A and B are shown apart, each in its own frame.
Chain A
Amino acid sequence: QVQLQESGPGLVKPSGTLSLTCAVFGGSINSSHWWSWVRQSPEKGLEWIGEIYHSGSTTYNPSLKSRVIMSVDSSKNQLSLKLRSVTAADTAVYYCARAAVGATDFDYWGQGTQVTVSS
């Protein structure tokens, strides 16, 4: 059974950088899956941030592309998200999710982590 677990600071200052990690248990991050970050806020609902493959290939949402960096650490079996120059509009619950092989339906999700942008 694959499990995903997000972690990171729950509070980030405006103009700072949001940094989260997602640890993968019960499966290898080097498998034939793409790994995504999705966030959820009352204002915007569910918003796909982007995806990464274990090779390092990425696809980002154009609305966030200029501020996002995703990476994979195969030695730790985890992926990371960095979002710079944050504002209050980036306050949300952040999820990591696994896409099914050869598809982009998300079959496994982490429990989510709340990130608040505030001074």
Chain B
Amino acid sequence: DIQMTQSPSSLSASVGDRVTITCRASQSISSDLNWYQQRPGKAPKLLIYAALALQTGVPSRFSGSGSGTDFTLTISSLQPEDLATYYCQQSNSAPYTFGQGTKLEIK
């Protein structure tokens, strides 16, 4: 199985800050990397697919980059509603695997 490792596991930032979350795959997955946001008590929500494509309806402050084994999710200007846990997921080969999550707190 392809292992996905996120860093950091948690972070605290202020409204308006630029936030970056990193995801590393245990082997190359090309651009087959997706990012999800999970608010407390809710199902995950797709934010970014194919490493850098913004899902319809997702605010443009979210962006993704990377290819191969190293990927990044960036929130350009943090908003209060961005309080959530963020997960990466590889869709290169089954079994499709997720990172352990990054819990984002608002200062």
Q: Is the CB of A107 within 8 A of B55?
A: yes
Instruction: State whether A46 touches B87 (Cβ < 8 A).
Output: yes
The number of chain A residues touching the other chain, given as a range, is: 20 to 34
Stretch at the interface among B19-27, B66-74, B76-84, B97-105: B97-105
A106, B45: Cα distance in complex, Å: 8
Q: Are B100 and A45 in contact (CB under 8 A)?
A: yes
* B43 with A105: CB separation less than 8 A: no
B93 to chain A, nearest CB (A): 9
How many residues on chain B are close to A (CB under 8 Å)? 23
**Among A51, A62, A103: residue with most chain B CB under 10 A:** A103
**Whole-angstrom distance between the Cβ of B96 and the nearest chain A Cβ:** 5
Interchain residue pairs with CB less than 8 A apart (29): A45-B87, A45-B99, A46-B87, A46-B101, A48-B96, A48-B97, A48-B98, A61-B94, A62-B1, A62-B95, A95-B43, A95-B44, A100-B49, A103-B50, A104-B91, A104-B94, A104-B96, A105-B34, A105-B46, A105-B50, A105-B89, A107-B46, A107-B49, A107-B55, A109-B43, A109-B45, A110-B43, A111-B42, A112-B43
Q: Which residues of A contact B (CB under 8 A)?
A: 36, 45-48, 51, 59, 61-63, 95, 100, 103-107, 109-112
